Chains A and B, each alone.
Chain A
Amino acid sequence: MDPGIDSLASRVEAVRQAASAEELLAATRALALSDHGGRVEESAIACLVEVLGFNNPGAAVAAVEGLIRLGPSAVDPLLSRLDPRNYGARAWAVRALAGIGDVRGLALLEEALGSDVGPSVRRAAAYGLGRLQLEGLPEVERRAVRGRALQSLLAGCRDGEWVVRYAVAVGLELLARSMGPDPEERRQLGESLATLADPGREETPVVQLRARLALERIAELERPTRVLFVCLGNICRSPAAEGVFLHLLAREGLETAFTVDSAGTGGWHVGRPADARMRAAAARRGISLPSRARQLEAADLKRFDIILPMDDDNLAGVMALAQRQGGKAHAQITPMVHYCRRFQSREVPDPYYGGDEGFEHVLDLLEDACGGLLATLRLRPDPARPPGEPGRETDPPGPGSPPPPPSHR
């Protein structure tokens, strides 16, 4: 007898035999946390679904967690065992489906939000409509699913219960994260949240607040990524990086997706345009350098998403400023060379005291690094999350580069 199946059967039995609320809770937790060894055990799934109807909220929470852990294999049993007479059980089942996020649940969630008598079912459905996992689906299907979820949530804005309208605001915020660029859909979504956020049209303060929060978070998501290049005097390397990056953005049609600037750790050249030699070298590549030098300041650590120092001294200067803020920098700080793909260089060297070939070399390095930087930033699904998270890097870190700081979000 397979010991795995045997212990699972005994855990199922323990749930069935539970004689008190506490026993049911403990037995459900044990079953929910079982290691199924990669097998789908229908008796376990069926048992967990049954627990949802037992009017024991603690056990139901454990069962929902267990069903979410089981994932897609729990979807069909949940759909087929929905109890039309027990709205408490239905609410938990909808919660489980929402947590799994499988698109097979879409029709059920639409119907639940639109017409279930239980507000707890409707609110779980609204939340679930925002959490459908669309990865792996062809784009045509993704658009269709998103469109249906959106229409369902839009109708849900008029629900009579405050908690359902609250959940609709949350569902709309979640949906916005996976929303495509369709302007009409974005407009509808934004307008319904604006309605929910308006005290003149929404009577419940907590719903207004949640809708307002949703709008803020969506705006944060959509805002341009803010990039700051840093060197010593802000007249050679960092203005060149700025110019190269802007040039690249223009070529790719991405100007509105980024805000770009440069600054120097020192203040000797404040107000001056970039060094004439650097401007000439850049011009030979069709790149203009429009900068006026400015000094790096504390506010930059909050104002920018990513700061890229050119060499170790610049890095030290930026880190010192960050430390003086008590480590509260929003910006990720990563050396420019981290993004090089062809060149293996410890730093972008200062060309100031050298000859023309120094300026050419710097521009070569910067073109390489800016290409790598843009490639990385474009992959980010959420600009609020700094680049360089594990699994998201396209390039391995360059020599001597520090690991990215942990995400603040």
Chain B
Amino acid sequence: MQAPGAPGSPASSGSTNGEPIDEQEALARLRQSEDASLQYYAAWWLGRNRSRHPEAVPLLLEALRQRRPRDPGAGVEENAVARNAARALGKLGEASAIPDLLATLEDGDDGLREAAARALGELRADAAVAPLLRRLASGPQGAGAQRSDSPRLQEPCEAMLEALGAIGVGGEAVCAVVEPFTGHERPLIRSAACRALLQLTGEARWASDLVALLVHPHLQVRRAALMDLGAVGWRPALEPICRSLAENSLKLIALRGLVEHGEAHEPHTKTTAVLDAMDTLL
């Protein structure tokens, strides 16, 4: 789940003075390789502004291949550039990037695998289903277990589960891999698994777990549930979403999802009802 302001959207890049740049400047910054922080910002910029310039994708694919081991003291590492490149390629809807992103899904850097998984989800890449299932097959105790050296999990499970839901290829094999994660100890992982199952099966039982998370004591969990219900467009959750204790901005994003993705779920909840609810949150 990407909350607004997540890493990858530079609030202030050290090497810019905060002035807005244009497309030519972004491409120039991405082209050079002496200053990684400029590349980092440029990759983000191209994705955020949905660049259609013919050089954008080749340069982003180049940047996707840049690697440098993580060195906390060195400022912005090269892998961070690759991560922003992956995110941007997802936002650009660039299907030709799928092979490179599939390769990135096998990288040793789990942050990079996370960005690649999200991008493949945005691209609805059917070819990603098999590798994602392979990586998640070991379940909550394997892929979902915590690493010894950090609070992160062995695999970026949240991103991978969401990607499976977004790609939309369902069936027994997929559900068999995803379902165990609905019992993971971390609520954010459970939320991602329920969201994916809801998207893949449309079965209301997966929604009730998500709706219950809307009243979880932790704000972070409530936010995740809001985003997940919005991504699915689960209209029966209209009331609980409105009542949830969270920022109006997130509720508005969730309700937008109900409007744009939700026609199939509970046809009785008309679009007008969701729009009226959105109005009250402005």
How many residues of chain B are within 8 Å of chain A by beta carbon? 16
Report whether over half of chain A's contact residues are helix, strand or loop; otherwise say mixed: helix
Q: Contacts A209-B259, A213-B272: A166 and B278 contacting too (C-beta < 8 A)?
A: yes
Contact (Cβ within 8 A) B249 A119: yes
Residue from A57, A167, A206 in contact with B259 in the complex, judged by beta carbons closer than 8 Å = A206
Across-interface contacts of A162 in B (CB, < 8 A): 256
Contact (Cβ within 8 A) B245 A205: no
Stretch at the interface among A2-10, A122-130, A135-143: A122-130
Q: Interface digits, B255-282 against A, CB 8 Å rule (1 contact, 0 not)? A: 0100110000000000110010011001
Closest Cβ of chain B to A259, distance in Å, is: 25
Q: Is B246 located at the chain interface by the 8 A CB criterion?
A: yes
Q: Contacts A170-B279, A210-B275: A120 and B249 contacting too (C-beta < 8 A)?
A: yes
Closest Cβ of chain B to A147, distance in Å, is: 22
Q: Interface digits, B92-105 against A, CB 8 Å rule (1 contact, 0 not)? A: 00000000000000
Closest Cβ of chain A to B243, distance in Å, is: 10
Closest Cβ of chain B to A220, distance in Å, is: 13
Q: Is A163 located at the chain interface by the 8 A CB criterion?
A: yes
Give bound CA distance, A25 to B245, whole Å: 10
Q: Which residue of B lies closest to A22 (CB)?
A: B217
Which residues of A55-81 are within 8 A (CB) of B?
57-58
Q: Interface digits, A100-133 against B, CB 8 Å rule (1 contact, 0 not)? A: 0000000000000000000110011011000000
Closest Cβ of chain B to A35, distance in Å, is: 25
Contact (Cβ within 8 A) A126 B248: no
Closest Cβ of chain A to B238, distance in Å, is: 14
Give bound CA distance, A206 to B259, whole Å: 7
Residue from B245, B275, B282 in contact with A123 in the complex, judged by beta carbons closer than 8 Å = B282
Across-interface contacts of A210 in B (CB, < 8 A): 275, 278
Which residues of A5-46 are within 8 A (CB) of B?
25
Give bound CA distance, A148 to B246, whole Å: 33
Q: Is B63 located at the chain interface by the 8 A CB criterion?
A: no
Q: Is B247 located at the chain interface by the 8 A CB criterion?
A: yes
Q: Interface digits, B208-246 against A, CB 8 Å rule (1 contact, 0 not)? A: 000000000000000000000000000000000000011
Across-interface contacts of B282 in A (CB, < 8 A): 95, 98, 123-124, 126-127, 166-167, 170
Across-interface contacts of B272 in A (CB, < 8 A): 213
Residue from B249, B271, B275 in contact with A163 in the complex, judged by beta carbons closer than 8 Å = B249
Contact (Cβ within 8 A) A57 B245: yes
Give bound CA distance, A25 to B260, whole Å: 33
Closest Cβ of chain B to A179, distance in Å, is: 18
Give bound CA distance, A69 to B48, whole Å: 41
Q: Which residue of A lies closest to B274 (CB)?
A: A206
Give bound CA distance, A88 to B271, whole Å: 29
Contact (Cβ within 8 A) B259 A205: yes
Q: Which residue of A lies closest to B260 (CB)?
A: A205
Across-interface contacts of B245 in A (CB, < 8 A): 25, 57-58
Across-interface contacts of B275 in A (CB, < 8 A): 206, 209-210, 213
Closest Cβ of chain B to A101, distance in Å, is: 14
Which residues of B156-188 are within 8 A (CB) of A?
none
Across-interface contacts of B246 in A (CB, < 8 A): 57
Contact (Cβ within 8 A) A120 B248: yes
- Interface footprint category on A: 20 to 34
Give bound CA distance, A124 to B259, whole Å: 20
Across-interface contacts of A209 in B (CB, < 8 A): 259, 271, 275
Q: Is B116 located at the chain interface by the 8 A CB criterion?
A: no
Q: Which residue of A lies closest to B251 (CB)?
A: A57
Which of B245, B256, B282 is most buried by chain A, counting CB atoms within 10 A of its CB?
B282
Which of A163, A204, A206, A209 is most buried by chain B, counting CB atoms within 10 A of its CB?
A206
Which residues of A139-179 are within 8 A (CB) of B?
162-163, 166-167, 170
Closest Cβ of chain A to B71, distance in Å, is: 33
Contact (Cβ within 8 A) A57 B279: no
Closest Cβ of chain A to B69, distance in Å, is: 36
Q: Contacts A126-B282, A209-B271, A210-B275: A57 and B248 contacting too (C-beta < 8 A)?
A: yes
Q: Which residue of A lies closest to B50 (CB)?
A: A203
Give bound CA distance, A119 to B272, whole Å: 23
Across-interface contacts of A166 in B (CB, < 8 A): 252, 278, 282
Give bound CA distance, A166 to B246, whole Å: 20
Across-interface contacts of B249 in A (CB, < 8 A): 119-120, 163
Across-interface contacts of A163 in B (CB, < 8 A): 249, 252-253, 256
Across-interface contacts of B279 in A (CB, < 8 A): 127, 170
Which of A25, A119, A163 is most buried by chain B, counting CB atoms within 10 A of its CB?
A163
Across-interface contacts of B252 in A (CB, < 8 A): 123, 163, 166
Give bound CA distance, A57 to B248, whole Å: 8
Q: Interface digits, B15-46 against A, CB 8 Å rule (1 contact, 0 not)? A: 00000000000000000000000000000000
Closest Cβ of chain A to B242, distance in Å, is: 11
Q: Which residue of B lies closest to A210 (CB)?
A: B275
Give bound CA distance, A163 to B248, whole Å: 11
Across-interface contacts of A123 in B (CB, < 8 A): 252, 282
Give bound CA distance, A205 to B256, whole Å: 9
Closest Cβ of chain A to B250, distance in Å, is: 9
Contacts A206-B275, A213-B275 given; 4 further ones with Cβ under 8 A?
A166-B252, A206-B278, A210-B275, A213-B272
Residues in chain B within 8 A of chain A (CB atoms): 245-249, 252-253, 256, 259-260, 271-272, 275, 278-279, 282
28 A–B contacts from the bound complex (CB under 8 Å):
A25-B245, A57-B245, A57-B246, A57-B247, A88-B247, A95-B282, A98-B282, A120-B247, A120-B248, A124-B282, A127-B282, A163-B249, A163-B252, A163-B253, A163-B256, A166-B252, A166-B278, A166-B282, A167-B282, A204-B256, A205-B259, A205-B260, A206-B275, A206-B278, A209-B271, A209-B275, A210-B278, A213-B275
Q: 6 shortest A-B CB distances, which residue pairs?
A: A127-B282, A58-B245, A206-B256, A206-B259, A167-B282, A205-B260
